[in-house]
A and B are shown apart, each in its own frame.
Chain A
Amino acid sequence: MTIHTPVGNDFDSLAAECAAAFDRWVPGGSEWDDDRLNEWARRAFALQFAENSTYRKYCETRRVRPGDVSGWRDVPPVPTAAFRAVDLIVGPSSGAKLTFLTSGTSRGSSRRGRHLVRSPDLYRASLRASFRAFVLEGEDAANIVTLPPSFTYDPTLSLGWMLDDVRAGFASELGGSVATADGVDWTALDAVVADAVRLDLPLCLLGTTLGFAEWLERLTDGRSITSPLPSRSRLMDTGGVKAREGLERAAVLTGLCGQLGLRLEAIVNEFGMTELLSQRYGHGDPGVPLLGPPWLRSWVLDPVTLEELPDGQTGILCHYDLANLGSVCSVLTEDRGRIVGEGIEWIGRTEGAPPRGCSLATAELLEAQEHV
């Protein structure tokens, strides 16, 4: 059967409309109520059903067609594992302008997931609108300093693209990237901090939690200069401390606040994933709730039955992100979390099931041999 894209609902037109709507977004405004998002969701699903052939097969298997979708909650979510198996893109894969890879390996597959981005402009529009609202609190410029990663050195990381883009998009008189191919250029970071202090210009420092942990070590042992940052400085960390033993995000942030004279409220935690092009942000520590733009919705499912759980109960997070127009908007994650107020709390990844009997999971054995 041939599926036709409705007139005026082709990818470029719809992406441009979405991007413009993202740009216009004013936090607290009424433009993004449920009815409006549902209308976007119907159009986005019609487009993805028509032009993302892999997703269409997935939906047809579940007997969901555009006529069955009345809003974003009806859109069939794709498990994140699918990003490891196939390219999910509206139109041909050759239409991808950016290709981002998920980190690490999991679940018996050494293959990293790929998210093909067809419209960097749409990604940018969502990213900048949210960053302006949640990190810059409505300001249009800041003295942004970005730690690694950088798209310059690793074009597979969406975080690197994101950091570079907001630095470019909100640039002010001071700032820049202190990322190198090997990590942080500490001399450059010390220099920009010294300039900021001298000129009394607030800095906006962006990087991974682990990068900031390394900076804290240097500040603590005197290898980097400790100096209270100018007032209204802020810091955005992302990624958490993962499996770094003995390290806690709270300790890193408290330590940095002490060293840099920052209030804990000046710390913003960013939550993002390669499979989503919109992000959430939480202030202070523990950074809950993580808030996002109105075109990013999240809900929580029972991991066994996939029934939606009431607010506050812990389950598996599912996200609807209109900025994913070029791939699939609805994504079922492997993350545990819960709804808190207007946002979410991300609790952690659901790690692989530990074997309960004497049955051998051969995946680990085979992977161990493949890596010898």
Chain B
Amino acid sequence: MFEAWHLPGLPTPTEWLEGRTHAGSAFRAPSLSGTEAGIVAAHVREGALEARAHRATTDVIQAIGAAAARLTAEGSAGIATRELLHAELGWDDRLIRDTLDGMARTWTTDALAGLVDSELGGPAVLDGFVRDEGWEGPGVRRRRAVGAPVVLQVLAGNVPGVAITATIRALLARSGVLCKLPEAEPGLLPMFARLLAEEDPLLGRSVAATWWPGSHFPAAWGEWTKWAGKVVVYGGAAAVEAVRGALPAHTDLISYGPRTGVAVLLPDTPQEEAAAALARDVCAYDQQGCVSPRLVYVVGLATGAFVSRLAGALEERTRDHPPPDPTPEEAVAIRSARAMFEFGGYKDGGLGVEAPGESLAWTILVSESPAARTESLPRVVWVHRVPELETLEEVLRPLEGRIQTFGFSGSEGLRRLAALATRLGVGRIAPLGSVAWPPPDWRHEGRHQLLPLLNWTDFEAPK
């Protein structure tokens, strides 16, 4: 059993809640009373305010970068991380390493400094008032950005590292963070928080994370919401609405919902290369991330040749990075989807399945006509032929605002694809092979990462 909590300021816990991940690994977290939750929240708030007073943002970036490096390096902390993720998710070591490497690229000191530069022009504005050189009014204007003393986060899913990324954003906004951990992957953020506390005890005091079962709102939640200036929630519409309904009026809510990934093969695509790149993107995070492509559109060409290459690439990738067994529900759903396409193909052609026999390691569902229907299943892609890019707009219109990324290969019509992405509210367009690993300063769901967490103070004064 592993520990799924990091609660600075909490006296030794006596009552426990126990959970189990999808892969069957048991974990526990303290059963917090409202009073205990209040003690933790006060501790976190105090830690965050002290850190603001005694640490520059560059110090914060250094400490985070150092903790993250230990989490993912070859030392004892890195080994413990990989053991934890293997137990939590049942993932094979290669898949864990690939995922962590991808995530860790966004947690380095350089990447974090780059993010702050990209969104705020540098860290100074987080540490004090900075003169606004563009000010044309009387006197001078100075500006400062600061996050709420406490941000409450409700985390979801089991893509390792998402909880850490969310927490880092709040720390960069100079907030303290209270987190409700996801049942599917509750261990990694507490591990990161402990390392952060070792790097800088003051920052370690600024992060609290724990888990409780289900989607209900216990006494600890009620207490934490009183302290939270902003609430960040990851999850589907129902989860977001449930959280919204369980917050005091006027609490600022920032939500990140599920999205899907789309890959577009333009007519001049080098197919062999594109198949290998797509297989890499599909297998990343075992296809559970919103950046992982699920829908693949082959523009202007029959799908057959590409599907054969993609099958080969997925098979090769699977040999090197075997996926964990699907859950029974996933297994049944994959077979059901395969049956629909296989039998549909027997009926009138135009549909087909590529898969490694009865193994569920990967599945390609092929259709010679365009559609946008997918299910959340591991290593399953839907490949459709579209006669031209313009058709794609019609097909994807129902998913407007729900597509995270367009991955592409080829160049013929790329500008039109970019224009289409803009019209459909797609947050990012990237070459296949890099789709699953967005750069540190990407616009997550088309939005800035830090700005939504910040409040600004404008200070206008005579010279």
Which A residues lie at the B interface, using CB under 8 A? 53-54, 57-58, 61, 78-82, 84-86, 106-109, 303-304, 306, 316, 332, 334, 336, 350-363, 365-366, 369
- Of the candidates A86, A352, A358, the one whose C-beta lies within 8 Å of that of B157 is A358
Verify A360–B260 contact, CB threshold 8 A.
Answer: yes
Say which one of B186-194, B207-215, B287-295 lies at the interface with A.
B287-295
In the complex, whether B329 has a CB less than 8 A from a CB of chain A is: yes
Contact of A79 with B336 in the complex, beta carbons under 8 Å: yes
The residue on B at minimum CB distance from A109 is B340
Q: Is B391 an interface residue (CB 8 A)?
A: no
B158 contacts which of A86, A109, A356, A365 (Cβ < 8 Å)?
A356
Contact of B346 among A58, A332, A369 (CB under 8 A): A58
Complex partner residue of B375 from A85, A303, A357, A363, CB under 8 angstroms: A363
Once the chains bind, are B339 and A359 in contact (CB under 8 Å)? no
Chain A residue at minimal CB-CB distance from B329: A353
Contact A359 B288 (CB under 8 A): yes
Q: How far is it, in angstroms, between the C-alpha of A164 and the C-alpha of B15 when the chains are bound?
A: 59
- Whether B330 sits at the interface, judged by CB under 8 Å, is yes
- Chain A residues positioned under 8 Å from B377 (CB to CB): 353
> Contacting B337 at CB < 8 Å: which of A108, A355, A357, A365?
A108
Chain B residues contacting A354 (CB-CB under 8 Å) are 329, 376
Which one, A58, A350, A360, contacts B376 given CB within 8 A? A360
Interface of B, secondary structure class, is mixed
> Are B375 and A107 in touch, CB under 8 angstroms?
yes
A338 to B28, CA, bound (A): 32
B447 within 8 A of A: no
Cross-chain contact A79 with B373 (CB below 8 angstroms): no
* Chain A CB within 8 A of B366 CB: no
User: How far is A107 from B374 in the complex, measured between Cα atoms in Å?
Assistant: 10
Complex: A294 Cα to B313 Cα, angstroms: 47
Query: Across the interface, which residues of B come within 8 angstroms of A357, CB to CB?
Result: 157-159, 285, 287-290, 292, 376
Choose from A57, A106, A353, A359 the contact partner of B260 (Cβ within 8 Å): A359
**Residue pair A359, B398 in contact (C-beta under 8 Å):** no
Q: Does B77 contact A (CB under 8 A)?
A: no
CA A80 to CA B338, docked complex, whole Å: 11
- Cβ of A362: which chain B residues have Cβ within 8 Å of it? 260, 294-295, 372-374, 398-399, 402
Give the residues in chain A near B335, CB-CB below 8 Å. 79, 81, 332
A106 to B292, CA, bound (A): 24
Residues of A with C-beta under 8 A to B338 = 79
A304 contact from B156, B292, B295, B325, Cβ within 8 A:
B325
A108 near B373: Cβ-Cβ < 8 Å: yes
Mask of B147-180 contacts with A, CB within 8 angstroms, 1/0: 0000000001111001000000000000000000
Contact A358 B289 (CB under 8 A): yes
22 example contacts (A-B, Cβ-Cβ < 8 A) are as follows A57-B346, A58-B342, A61-B342, A81-B339, A81-B340, A84-B340, A107-B336, A304-B331, A350-B332, A353-B326, A353-B330, A353-B332, A354-B329, A355-B288, A356-B376, A359-B261, A359-B287, A359-B292, A362-B260, A363-B374, A365-B399, A366-B398
Q: Which residues of A contact B159 (CB under 8 A)?
A: 357-358
Q: Is the CB of A365 within 8 A of B398?
A: yes
Interface residues on B, range: 35 or more
A7 to B372, CA, bound (A): 48
Task: Give min CB distance, A106 to chain B, whole Å.
Answer: 8
Q: Chain A residues near B295 (CB, 8 Å)?
A: 362
A365 to chain B, nearest CB (A): 7
Residue among B341, B343, B398 with max Cβ neighbours from chain A (10 Å): B343
Cβ-closest chain B residue relative to A111: B340
> Given known contacts A358-B288, A359-B259, what 11 new A-B pairs fall within 8 Å (CB)?
A79-B339, A81-B336, A85-B339, A108-B337, A352-B333, A353-B375, A357-B290, A357-B292, A358-B156, A358-B256, A360-B402
Q: A183 → chain B, closest Cβ, in Å?
A: 32
Nearest-CB distance from A209 to chain B (Å)? 24
Shortest beta-carbon distance, A58 to chain B, in Å? 7
Does residue B360 face the partner (Cβ distance < 8 Å to A)? Answer: yes
- How long is the Cα–Cα vector from A79 to B342 in the complex, in angstroms? 11
> Please, which residues of chain A bring their CB within 8 A of the CB of B328?
303-304, 316, 336, 350
Does B234 touch A at the CB level, under 8 Å? yes
For residues 248 through 266 of chain B, which have their beta carbon under 8 Å from a beta carbon of chain A? 256-261
Q: Which chain A residues lie closer than 8 Å to B457 at the CB level? A: none
Contact B290 A306 (CB under 8 A): no
State A78–B342 Cα separation when bound (angstroms). Answer: 11
B339 interface neighbour in A82, A351, A361, A363, Cβ under 8 Å: A82
Least CB distance from A75 to B in Å reads 16
B184 within 8 A of partner (CB): yes
In Å, the complex CA distance between A57 and B331 comes to: 23
> Which of B289, B325, B333, B358 is the one whose CB lies under 8 Å from A359?
B289
Nearest 10 pairs of A and B residues by beta carbon: A357-B288, A355-B376, A81-B339, A85-B343, A79-B339, A360-B258, A81-B336, A353-B329, A361-B376, A303-B328
Asked if B118 is at the interface of the complex by the 8 Å CB criterion, the answer is no
- Alpha-carbon gap, A92 to B211, bound state (A): 58
Question: Which of B327, B329, B331, B375 is within 8 Å of A108, CB to CB?
Answer: B375
| Contact across chains for B332 and A316 when beta carbons are under 8 A apart | yes
Chain B residues near A84 (CB-CB < 8 A): 340
Q: Indicate whether A366 sits within 8 Å of B373 (C-beta atoms), given known contacts A334-B332, A359-B290.
A: yes
- Min CB gap B398→A, angstroms: 5
Chain A residues whose C-beta falls within 8 Å of the C-beta of B288 in the assembled complex = 355-359
* Cα–Cα, bound, A61→B345 (Å): 12
With a cutoff of 8 Å between Cβ atoms, the chain B residues found around residue A365 in the complex are 398-399, 402
Does chain A have a CB within 8 A of B344?
A: yes
Q: Is B346 in contact with A356, judged by CB distance below 8 angstroms?
A: no
Docked pose: A300 CA to B336 CA in angstroms: 17
Distance between B357 CB and nearest chain A CB, rounded to angstroms = 9
With contact pairs A81-B336, A352-B333 given, residues A359 and B343 touching in the complex (Cβ less than 8 Å): no
Q: Give the shortest distance, in Å, between A84 (CB) and chain B (any CB).
A: 6
Q: Mark B309-327, 1 if CB is under 8 A from A, else 0.
A: 0000000000000000111
Chain A proximity of B186: nearest CB distance (Å): 13
Complex: A171 Cα to B348 Cα, angstroms: 46
A160 to chain B, nearest CB (A): 26
Min Cβ gap A328→B in Å is 11
Q: How far is A350 from B287 in the complex, measured between Cα atoms in Å?
A: 22
- Residues in A whose Cβ lies below 8 Å from that of B290: 357-360
Q: With A and B bound together, what is the CA distance between A353 and B159 in angstroms?
A: 16
- Closest chain B residue, CB of each to CB of A85: B343
Which chain B residues in 374-402 approach chain A with CB under 8 Å? 374-377, 398-399, 402
Contacts of A306 in B (CB 8 A): 358
CB-defined interface of B276-320 with A at 8 Å, one 1/0 digit per residue?
A: 000000000101111010110000000000000000000000000
The reply to whether the CB of B347 lies closer than 8 angstroms to some CB of chain A is: yes
Q: Mark B343-377, 1 if CB is under 8 A from A, else 0.
A: 11011000000000010100000000000111111
Which residue of chain A has the shortest Cβ distance to B289 in the bound complex? A357
